[in-house]
Amino acid sequence: MSNKQHILNEVNQWLDKVVIGLNLCPFASRPYQQKQIRFTVSQCNTQACLLEDLQNELILLAETKAESIETTLVIVPNMLDDFYDYNDFLEYVDALIEDNEWQGIFQVATFHPNYQFAGTEPEDAENLTNRAPYPILHLLREESLEKAIAHYPHPEQIPENNIETVSNLTLEQKISLFAHTFKK
């Protein structure tokens, strides 16, 4: 198995077992089952290269109907290992969206092996909600997200529900589901 295939398998397993399995994103199951999620592994190791990859993926989303590609996960295995570097890079991603006049069309959800919400400690359970095997930039269509939210009761409770879900996991469950976080 190639390294790229190994990365794709890890991310697919995380999406299936964690994001969908724990219902951390109640909107992920349908496009996953309908094979409308595009997974791409960026081979970049510079910010300029990664921004070019992101731009190309956003152009592809813009030119493709949601029925074919609803959303894209850009997996970044070769750079942005440090969460603070990753977080800083998001300013460039925001600028890319603004420069291409994609505000209101696309947004980016963020996942990282060492994800840490402001005001939390690294080991706080709530950080698990955004932890993934690799740095990931999830490119979302805002229109699709708005439609999904409109049909979901109390979407504002999703973050609280997610924190409760991961907080109630046993240590064994956390180690099993978030092996990428616990292998240090």
The structural domains of the chain, with segments of one domain joined by +, span 3-182
Average model confidence (pLDDT) for the chain? 95
Token pair belonging to 176:
């099993």
Write out pLDDT tens, residues 76-111. Answer: 999 999 999 999 999 999 999 999 999 999 999 999
> Quick check: 116 and 127 in contact, CB under 8 A?
yes
For range 173-184, the mean pLDDT: 86
- Is the pTM for the entire model greater than 0.85? yes
CA distances from 89 to 6, 85, 149 (A): 25, 6, 28
Write out pLDDT tens, residues 137-178. Answer: 999 999 999 998 998 889 999 999 999 999 999 999 999 999
Write out pLDDT tens, residues 30-39. Answer: 999 999 999 9
Question: Who's near 56: CB < 8 A, 6+ residues apart?
Answer: none
pLDDT band at 15, cuts 50/70/90? very high
> Quick check: 54 and 46 in contact, CB under 8 A?
no
Whether the per-residue pLDDT at 184 is higher than 80: the answer is no
Token pair belonging to 99:
């420069």
Whether the per-residue pLDDT at 125 is higher than 60: the answer is yes
